[in-house]
Amino acid sequence: MRQITPIFKREFLGYFRSPVAYVFLIAFLVISVSLAFSRYGGFFRAGVAGLESYFTFFPWLFMFIVPAVGMRLWSEEKRSGTVELLFTLPITTLEAVLGKFLAGWAFLALAVLLSFPMALTVGYLGDPDWGIIATTYLGAVLMAGAYLGVCALTSALTKNQVISFVLSLGACAILLFLGFSSFTETLEGALPMVVADALSNFSFITHFDAFTKGIVDPKDVIFFLSLMGFTLFLNVVALER
Amino acid sequence: MIEVKGLVKTYGAKRAVDGVTFTVKRGDILGFLGPNGAGKSTTMKMITGFLRPDAGTATVDGIDVTVDPVRVKQKLGYLPESAPAYPEMTVGEFLGFIAEVRGFRGAAKTAQVDRAIQLTHLAPVRKQTIETLSKGFKQRVGFAQALLHDPAALILDEPTDGLDPNQKNEVRALIKNMSAEKAVILSTHILEEVDAICNRVIIISRGQVVADETPAQLRARQPGARLDEIFRSLTHGDI
Ligand SMILES: Nc1ncnc2c1ncn2[C@@H]1O[C@H](COP(=O)(O)OP(=O)(O)O)[C@@H](O)[C@H]1O
Ligand SMILES: [Mg+2]
C-alpha cells in the first residue's frame, strides 16, 4: 500500500501543472458565491448569519463540477497510452485506483475549503453557528467523494473524455434526482413501493441535507463512504477486465 | 530468465498471438521480428503483465506473471511502443515519479534518476516538460524510465521506430552497452537492427513463431540471399 503515495502525489500535483486547475478553482468559487448572492440563494435576504444559502447549491454544482474533475482520471491515461506504463510498474490496480481517487478527492476538498472566506465573512457580519458550518463542510467533502467515485468509474470505461463527462453527468444527475418527490412519485408509479423507497434512499440531497442542519448521522456518513467503496471496487474490476 | 510457453491472445474473432513459445537467457539480445500486426506488441504486453493471456504462461526468473504480477514487474524494465509518458511533467519529475513507484526514496531516488539521465544523455533537457521534447528525446525518456532500476530483463517495443538514422545508431549503441548480464527482448520490423545488435532472432508471423535461431543460422537458410528476402519468404502470406 505504500505505493499509493507516489501515485497520489503525481496526480494531485498534476492538477497544478496546467492552468486548468487554477481556472477550475476560480470558476468554482465565482459560481458558488454568485449563486449564493443570487436571488435564488438570498444570502443577504435570509437575514441569518449562516452558510446555508451558500451550500444549498452544492449538490447541483457538484453534478457538473465533479465530472469535470473526474473525467480525465482514467480516460486521459487510456488515450495517451500511459495506462500501459502505469500498469507495468510494480503496483496493484487497487493502489493505482486509490492513489488517483484520493488525489481527485483532495483537489475537490481544496476547492470546497477555499470558500472559507465566505464563512469568515459570515462570522464578521454576525454570529453563526460554527458547529453547523463544520458539519456542512464535512458533508460537502463526503458528498464530493461519493460523486467522484461514480465519475472515476465512468472514466475507467472509456478513453474519450467527452463520453466520460457525459456518462458521469448522467450518473450524478440520477443520484441527485432520486431525492425529489416528483421523481420518486414517478418511480413509485412504475416500480413496486419497496424498490422506489429503497432507490430514494440513494439520493445525495437527502443525505447532504442533514449535514447542513448540523446533524452528523452515521447513516449518512456510511452512505457516502460505502458508495465510494462500492464504486472504487467496480473501478478496479473495470480496469482489470 | 524469461520463459514464454504457448501464449495465446484473441481479440474478438482475431487470434493475435497463437501459441508463442521461447526462452531468453541473461546476456541474450533477442530480436523479435515480424511484419506489422504479427503479434509482437501483444506478446510483450502479456509478458509484462499488462494483458492477461487467454492461454499459456510467461515467467520471469521462475515467477509466473499472472500469479505474482508485482514481483515480475519489479524485475522488468519495459519500454512500450511509442514510449508513453506524462506530457506535462518535466523529465526530472517524471523519472523521479518512476523511481518513487519503484520504491526508491531520498538519496537513493536521486542516485537512480541521475544514473538513468546520464546513461541516456538526458541532462540537457532534465528541466524541460516532456511535451516539448523531440521524438528522439522522448524515446530516450522511455529508455531512462525502463532502465532506471537496473532491471535484470528489458523488454523494448520498437525502440528505434520513428527515429532518424543518427538517433537509431545511438539507441542501438545504448542497448548494446547496457545489455551485458541482462536478458533483452527487442521488437522491430527493421532487419538491419538484428544484424547490428542481436545474438538471437525470432520471427513471428500471424501470431506464430516461424524461426528461432541466431542471425548466422537465419542467413544460412538461403546462402547468398539478403536478410529481407529470407524474411519475406518466412512471412509471406502475412500482409
Ligand atoms: N486492442 C486490440 N483490439 C483488437 N485488435 C487488436 C488490438 N491490439 C492489437 N490487435 C490486433 O492484433 C494483431 C497483432 O497486433 P500487435 O501485437 O500490435 O502487432 P505488432 O506489434 O506485431 O505490429 C493485429 O492484427 C492487430 O490489429
Ligand atoms: Mg507493435
pLDDT at residue B186 is higher than 70: yes
Name, in order, each residue with C-beta under 8 angstroms of B176's C-beta and a sequence gap of 6 or more.
B29, B197
Residue B171 Cα, gap to closest chain A Cα (Å):
20
pLDDT band at A56 (very low <50, low <70, confident <90, very high): confident
Which atom of ligand 1 sits closest to the CA of residue B17? 14
Each domain of chain B, given as residue ranges in start order, spans 2-85+152-235
- Residue A14 touches partner B, C-beta closer than 8 Å: yes
Query: Total structural domains in chain A?
Result: 1
DSSP for chain A reads -TTHHHHHHHHHHHHHTSTHHHHHHHHHHHHHHHHHHSTTT-TTTT-SSSSHHHHTTHHHHHHHHHHHHHTHHHHHHHHHSHHHHHTTSS--HHHHHHHHHHHHHHHHHHHHHTTHHHHHHHHHHS---HHHHHHHHHHHHHHHHHHHHHHHHHHTT-S-HHHHHHHHHHHHHHHHHTT-HHHHHHHHHHS-HHHHHHHHTT-HHHHHHHHHTT---HHHHHHHHHHHHHHHHHHHHHHH-
**Smallest CA separation from ligand 1 atom 8, residue:** B42
pLDDT of residue B75: 94
Q: Which CATH class is domain B2-85+152-235?
A: alpha beta
Summarised one tens digit per residue, pLDDT across range A201-234 is 777 888 888 888 888 888 889 999 999 999 999 9
Helix A4-16 × helix B91-101 angle, to 10°: 160
Please give the mean pLDDT across all residues of chain A.
84
B202 alpha carbon, closest ligand: 1
pLDDT of residue B204: 92
- The pLDDT of A97-107, averaged and rounded, is 96
Task: Report the separation in Å between the CA atom of A235 and the middle of ligand 2, taken as the mean of its atom positions.
Answer: 28
- The pLDDT of B207-216, averaged and rounded, is 86
- The pLDDT of A86-109, averaged and rounded, is 96
Summarised one tens digit per residue, pLDDT across range B125-135 is 999 999 999 98
Domain that holds residue A190: 4-41+49-240
Instruction: Please report which helix (H) or strand (E) contains residue B216, including its range.
Output: helix B215-220
Q: Give the largest CA-CA distance in chain B.
A: 57
- Residue A17 touches partner B, C-beta closer than 8 Å: yes
Give how far Cα A62 sits from Cα of A65, A222, B118, B146, B186, Å: 5, 20, 47, 40, 48
Q: Which three cell numbers stand for residue A49?
A: 448569519
- Residue A1 touches partner B, C-beta closer than 8 Å: no
Contacts of A80 in chain B (CB under 8 A): 84, 86-87
Which atom of ligand 1 sits closest to the CA of residue B81? 21
pLDDT of residue A130: 83
pLDDT of residue A61: 85
Name the nearest CA neighbour of A219 among A241, A199, A233, A202. A202
Contacts of A19 in chain B (CB under 8 A): none
Tell me if A87 and B82 make a contact (CB, 8 A cut-off): no
Contacts of A88 in chain B (CB under 8 A): 48-50, 73, 76, 78, 80
- Taking a C-beta distance cutoff of 8 angstroms, is the pair B175, B156 a contact? yes
- The pLDDT of A107-133, averaged and rounded, is 82
Cβ count within 10 A of residue B16: 22
**Smallest CA separation from ligand 1 atom 24, residue:** B37
- Residue A93 touches partner B, C-beta closer than 8 Å: no
pLDDT of residue A183: 65
Name, in order, each residue with C-beta under 8 angstroms of B217's C-beta and a sequence gap of 6 or more.
none
Interface test with A, best of B42, B47, B72, B86 (most A CBs within 10 A): B86
Which position has the higher pLDDT, B209 or A45? Answer: B209
Ligand 1 pocket test, pick from B42, B82, B204, B206 with the greatest ligand atom count within 8 Å of Cβ, gives B42
pLDDT of residue B183: 93
Tell me if B80 and A88 make a contact (CB, 8 A cut-off): yes
- The pLDDT of A9-23, averaged and rounded, is 90
Residue B90 Cα, gap to closest chain A Cα (Å):
10
Instruction: Identify residues whose C-beta is under 5 A from ligand 2, the ion.
Output: B 41, 81
